[in-house]
Structure formats: C-alpha cells, structure tokens
C-alpha cells in the first residue's frame, strides 16, 4: 500500500534506477526513510544483453522491467518519471522536468553515456546504450541485408554487406560476433539474390589487443574465436576518418553502410550538476564512503563515480560494482538513521566475462580463466542470475535454448519504417542516430 511521505522520516532521493540506484532502493525497503526514485525511463534496463536486442536475438521487453513493478512491494518508495537536469545543492533540491524534488540525502546513479572523443561522429555512428539505440541498430542491420537483396549495383551491394564495429571491448566483441552469426548461420537460407555469408564484419580496436582488461591469453582466444566466426579483427590502429559510406583505418578504407560505435563512454553530467571535481571521463571523484567531498549527504555511485580501489586504480565501470556501491550506500544510510558509524566502501572484484557468439565466451574470475563452451555456460548462468524478474529470466533462457537448437533469430522485425518509406530505404539507412523514432515493438 502507498505510504505518503512522512514529516519525521529523512527524505532520500535516488536519481537513476539502473544497477546502482535500483539496488539501493531495494536495500532501503523497510528502512525508516522516505525514498523517491527518479528516472528518465519507466524501466530498468539490463544493458549487458542490449547487443542481443540489436542483433535480433531478444526483444526489448526481455531485458527491461518496469521500475514501478520491480519496486511494487517496497512501501516506502515512490517512483517519478522525469529527466533530471540539475541539482540545487544549497536548497537541497533535484531539478527534473521543471519540478523540484526536495531531499535530505541524495544518491546519484545516472551511469554513463557515449563519448566520441571530440569528433562529430555521434551523428554517424550509433552506439549501444539504450533500448532505442538497440532497436535502431537492429533496423540498420536488417535493412542492410534487405536492401542488398534487391540492389543491382555490385559496389553498393558490397557496401551494404560490410559491417564495421569500432571498439574491441566486451560490447564491440559481442556485437561483432553476433552480427557474424546472423550472417553466417541465422540468415543462410533466407535470401535468394545474395549469399548472407558473403557479408564482411570488421572489428576495429586501436589497442594492440582485444579486451584489454582481460588476461592477454583470453584476449588472444577471443580473437581466434571471432576469426572462426568470420570476423576480421584490426588491431593497433583506430578509425581515422568516418563518413556515411565507410571508415578509414589509417591507409585502409572500408566501404560500409553500417558502422557501430562501441569505443567509449563518459559519465552523465552529475559532476556538472554538483560543481564537483571529476576526471577526464566526467566521473565525480568521491570520498571512501562514496559521498561527494564537502557534501556528506550526497553520494555518487556506479558509472558516474570515480573511486580508487586498493591498488590505486579506478574500480571498473560495471554492473557488479554499481550494485555493490548501491548496497553499500543503502547500508550506510540505515546506519546513519540509527546514529551509527559505518566503515568505508571496499570493492570486491568479481571478475569479467564477455560472450563471443552463440556458444563461446571468455571468463576471468580471479585465477579462473575459461573460454569456449565452458565459458559460455558460466556467462549464461551469470546473465540469467543477474537479470531482474522471473519473467525476463525465463524468456531469455528459452530464447537462448531456441537459438542454440535452431540457429534462428526470432526477433527480426524491422520497425520505424513503413510502406511509403520503403522506396526511401537507402536514405533510412543513412539517417543520423539523433533522429531515432519510437519503435512500436516489444
Ligand atoms: C552494451 C553494454 C554492455 C555491457 N555489458 C556489461 C557486462 O557484460 N557486464 C557488466 O558488469 N557490465 C556491463 N555493462 C556496464 C554496465 O551496464 C554498467 O556498468 C552499469 O549499468 C552501471 O550501473 P549504473 O547504476 O551506474 O548506471 P545504469 O545502469 O546505466 O543506470 C543509469 C540510470 O540512470 C537513468 N538516468 C540517466 N540520466 C538521467 C537523468 N538525467 N535523469 C533521470 N534519469 C537518468 C537512466 O535512465 C538509467 O536508468 C555494459 C554496458 C553496456 C552499455
């Protein structure tokens, strides 16, 4: 039952219902605090599986859960759908869509957004951070095959069947592997004029190896697995030029209508809102208890925060860290509400995983290093375990089983373009990502 905010309880506002914010909200259930969760979307998104939406393996609804529904049993929490644009630190108010939300304690958990490193490539290179971006990329990939099927010009056909993924971190590796499987397995008997297996998938990474946060041995295994799937990996040179018909990698030119950005992120503008010190990626430098220096009642967690681990290096920007930090701040606030002190945050490294196609993944958990099918089994169990909601877990598991047994991809809907636009499809393919339309699919 809904409980109106009380006079006596401290007001905690959580901005962002991602991994960090949602964990904090859940952990504060039953605490003598009035919690308000503010998010620009009405759903919590499981970003690690976005690439599967972008490559037609899963539907958007499989990896997103309505925030209200996730928090429906948490009586002391109310949810506001609004985009935060500033924080009035002096008046202790969050500014969101023209309204002001007062707080005694504030948790900022707004995550990260794309960074295109000072270039204007954002117009050309869609990245993968949101449901809209994932369905947009899916449309681009599926349209590229459809257009190639009826394209009379051989050069343009080639351009349509070339796919470039920029960035060899986990997201880029997963995207490239998954596009290769679409072309080489799922689509093989579906087209008549083209052979989807002739598609070329190029993964570009400026560093000398893929997946630089992993052990070099696993990076090499990932490179080999991608090679077996038909992905061409370019290492040691970044993209130097980019336009609507392709990219240059140093002196090499690759003509392509579909270029996907997986090369960099920066923090959301929390540091700007707070006037707080930050690093080059915009992450707010936080105290050992995750509070903002000089503001013991304001915390920044997850991808928006810069926290140094015991080794003096920033703790990684991943879902596990965001969840640990959300849990920590919740406990700290409960301790404070009882006038108790609480020790500083201690990061526990959980390891890292990345999938390479339908039945291979690399896993690094302390000294344990796995690749291939054993890695994929650990990867899938971890993804299912971390997903929110029984429905999502069941559907995702069933989809994977279906995909595994049949090699099919069921979510091959092209949305956002309809009948009268068909003649304009080539232009749709070139449409800048800033002109996303709402997709009406599930
Ligand atoms: C494609 C992809 C794949 C990934 N794969 C993995 C993986 O395999 N394993 C892993 O551990 N991590 C992975 N990550 C990283 C992981 O998703 C992030 O580290 C994690 O989501 C960070 O959690 P967070 O709570 O800081 O932010 P998020 O989970 O990003 O949540 C931020 C929330 O804040 C909201 N928000 C943002 N700005 C505003 C605003 N102005 N007003 C209101 N609300 C706002 C957003 O809508 C969102 O709900 C991946 C990320 C991506 C993009």
* pLDDT tens profile 209-257: 999 999 999 999 999 999 999 999 999 999 999 998 999 999 999 999 9
Chain position carrying tokens 């914010």: 21
Q: Determine phi and psi for 370, rounding to 5 degrees.
A: -125, 155
CA distances 36 to 15, 53, 65, 234, Å, are 8, 30, 18, 47
| Beta carbons within 8 Å of 294's beta carbon, 6+ residues apart | none
Single out the residue of 145, 116, 258 nearest to residue 201, CA to CA. 258
pLDDT at 387: 85
DSSP character at residue 308: B
Residue identifier of the C-alpha nearest atom 5 of ligand 1: 48
3-class secondary structure, 238:
coil
Three-state DSSP state, 91: coil
Angle subtended by helix axes 390-406 and 372-386, to nearest 10 = 150
Tens digits of pLDDT across the chain (442 residues): 444 555 568 999 999 999 999 999 999 998 999 999 999 999 999 999 999 999 999 999 999 999 999 999 999 999 999 999 999 999 999 999 999 999 999 999 999 998 877 777 877 788 899 999 999 999 999 999 999 999 999 999 999 999 999 999 999 999 999 999 999 988 888 899 999 999 999 999 999 999 999 999 999 999 999 999 999 999 999 999 999 899 999 999 999 999 999 998 899 999 999 999 999 999 999 999 999 999 999 999 999 999 998 888 899 999 999 999 999 999 999 999 999 999 999 998 888 999 998 889 999 998 899 999 999 999 999 999 888 777 788 888 888 888 777 767 767 778 776 554 444 455 545 544 443 343 434 3
Tokens, residue 14: 């959580």
Rounded to the nearest angstrom, the distance between the alpha carbon of 42 and the centre of ligand 1 is 14
19 CA to centre of ligand 1 in angstroms? 7
3-state secondary structure of 87: strand
The residue with tokens 């050992």 is 288
Residue 422: the pLDDT is 46
Six-digit token string for 97? 């869509």
Which residues contact ligand 1 via a Cβ below 6 A?
15-21, 38-41, 47-48, 50-51, 83-84, 109-111, 128-129, 170-171, 268, 302-304, 317-320, 322
Helix or strand run (H / E) with residue 232: strand 231-235
CA separation for the pair 217, 237 (Å, rounded): 21
> Of the residues 18, 51, 64, 67, which should be mutated to test ligand 1's pocket, given the most ligand atoms within 8 Å of the CB?
18
Dihedral of CA 294/299/304/305: which sign?
A: positive
Q: Is 373 exposed, middle or buried (0-12, 13-18, 19+ CB in 10 A)?
A: exposed
Atom of ligand 1 nearest to the CA of 22: 25
Query: What is the Cα–Cα distance from 397 to 63, expressed in whole angstroms?
Result: 12
**pLDDT tens digits along 56-77:** 999 999 999 999 999 999 999 9
* Nearest Cα residue to atom 37 of ligand 1: 110
Q: Give the pLDDT confidence score for residue 25 in this predicted structure.
A: 98
- Our CA angle for 325, 134, 410, nearest 5°, is 115
**For residue 215, with 0-12 CB atoms within 10 Å meaning exposed, 13-18 middle and 19 or more buried, which class applies?**
middle
Q: Which among 246, 216, 238 has a CA at the least distance from the CA of 118?
A: 238
Sign of the torsion formed by the C-alpha atoms of 297, 298, 301 and 305: negative
Dist CA 318 CA 108 (whole Å): 16
**CA nearest ligand 1 atom 20, residue:** 319
What's the whole-model pTM score?
0.91
Catalytic residues: 174
Burial track 120-154 (b if 16+ CB lie within 10 A, e otherwise): ebeebbbbbbbbbbbbbbbbbbbbbbbbbeebeee
Q: Which residue has the tokens 């077996």?
A: 228
Nearest to 50 by CA among 175, 165, 173: 175
The atom number, within ligand 1, closest to the CA of 305 reads: 26
C-beta separation of 363 from 371 below 8 A = yes
Give the separation between CA 262 and CA 173, rounded to whole angstroms: 9
Spacing, Cα 17 to ligand 1 middle (Å): 9
Q: What is the DSSP string of 162-209?
A: EEEEE--SHHHHHHHHHHHHIIIIITTTT-SSS-GGG-EEEEEESSSS
Q: Where are the alpha helices (DSSP H) in 182-318?
A: 216-229, 270-274
* Residue of 49, 265, 317, 364 whose CA lies nearest to 178: 49
Q: How far, in Å, CA of 266 to CA of 269, rounded?
A: 9
Backbone angles phi, psi at 278, to 5 degrees: -150, 165
* pLDDT at position 417: 65
* Per-residue tokens: 169: 């971190």
In angstroms, what is the span from residue 168 Cα to ligand 1's centroid? 19
In this structure, what DSSP letter does residue 278 have?
Answer: B
| Whole-Å CA distances, 145 to 181, 196, 225, 406, 412 | 14, 7, 24, 20, 11
Residue 318 CA, closest ligand 1 atom number: 19
Q: Taking the mean position of all CA atoms in its chain, how far away is CA 101?
A: 28
């Amino acid at each position: 039952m809904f409980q109106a905010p009380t006079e006596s309880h401290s007001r905690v506002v959580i901005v962002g219902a991602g991994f960090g914010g949602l964990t904090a909200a859940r952990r504060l259930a039953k605490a003598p605090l009035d919690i308000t969760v503010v998010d620009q979307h009405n759903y919590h998104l499981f970003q690690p599986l976005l690439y599967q939406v972008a490559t037609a393996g899963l539907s958007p609804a499989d990896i997103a859960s309505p925030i209200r529904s996730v928090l429906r049993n948490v009586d002391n929490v109310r949810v506001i759908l609004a985009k935060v644009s500033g924080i009035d630190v002096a008046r202790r108010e969050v500014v969101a869509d023209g309204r002001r939300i007062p707080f005694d304690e504030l948790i900022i958990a707004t995550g990260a957004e794309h960074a295109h490193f000072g270039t204007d490539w954002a117009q050309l290179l869609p990245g993968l951070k949101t449901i809209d971006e994932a369905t947009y990329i899916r449309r681009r990939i599926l349209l590229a095959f459809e257009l190639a099927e009826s394209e009379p010009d051989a050069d343009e056909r080639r351009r349509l069947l070339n796919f470039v993924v920029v960035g060899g971190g986990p997201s880029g590796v997963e995207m490239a592997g998954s596009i290769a499987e679409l072309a080489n397995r799922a689509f093989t008997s579906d087209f008549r004029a083209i052979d989807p297996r002739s598609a070329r998938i190029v993964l570009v990474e400026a560093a000398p190896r893929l997946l630089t946060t992993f052990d070099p041995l696993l990076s090499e295994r990932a490179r080999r697995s991608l090679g077996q799937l038909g992905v061409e990996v370019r290492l040691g040179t970044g993209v130097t030029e980019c336009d609507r018909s392709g990219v240059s990698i140093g002196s090499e030119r690759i003509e392509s209508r579909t270029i996907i950005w997986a090369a960099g992120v920066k923090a959301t503008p929390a540091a700007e809102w707070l006037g707080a010190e930050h690093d080059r990626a915009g992450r707010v430098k936080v105290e050992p208890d995750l509070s903002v220096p000089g503001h013991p009642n304001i915390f920044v967690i997850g991808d928006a925060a810069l926290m140094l681990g015991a080794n003096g290096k920033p703790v990684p920007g991943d879902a596990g860290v965001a969840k640990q930090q959300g849990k920590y701040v919740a406990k700290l606030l409960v301790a404070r509400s009882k006038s108790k002190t609480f020790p500083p945050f201690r990061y526990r490294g959980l390891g890292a995983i990345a999938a390479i196609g339908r039945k291979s993944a690399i896993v690094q958990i302390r000294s344990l290093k796995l690749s291939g099918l054993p890695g994929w089994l650990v990867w899938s169990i971890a993804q299912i375990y971390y997903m929110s909601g029984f429905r999502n877990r069941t559907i995702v598991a069933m989809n994977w089983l279906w995909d595994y047994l049949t090699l099919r991809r069921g979510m091959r809907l092209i949305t956002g373009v309809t009948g009268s636009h068909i003649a304009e499809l080539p232009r749709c393919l070139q449409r800048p990502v800033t002109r996303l339309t709402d997709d009406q699919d599930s």
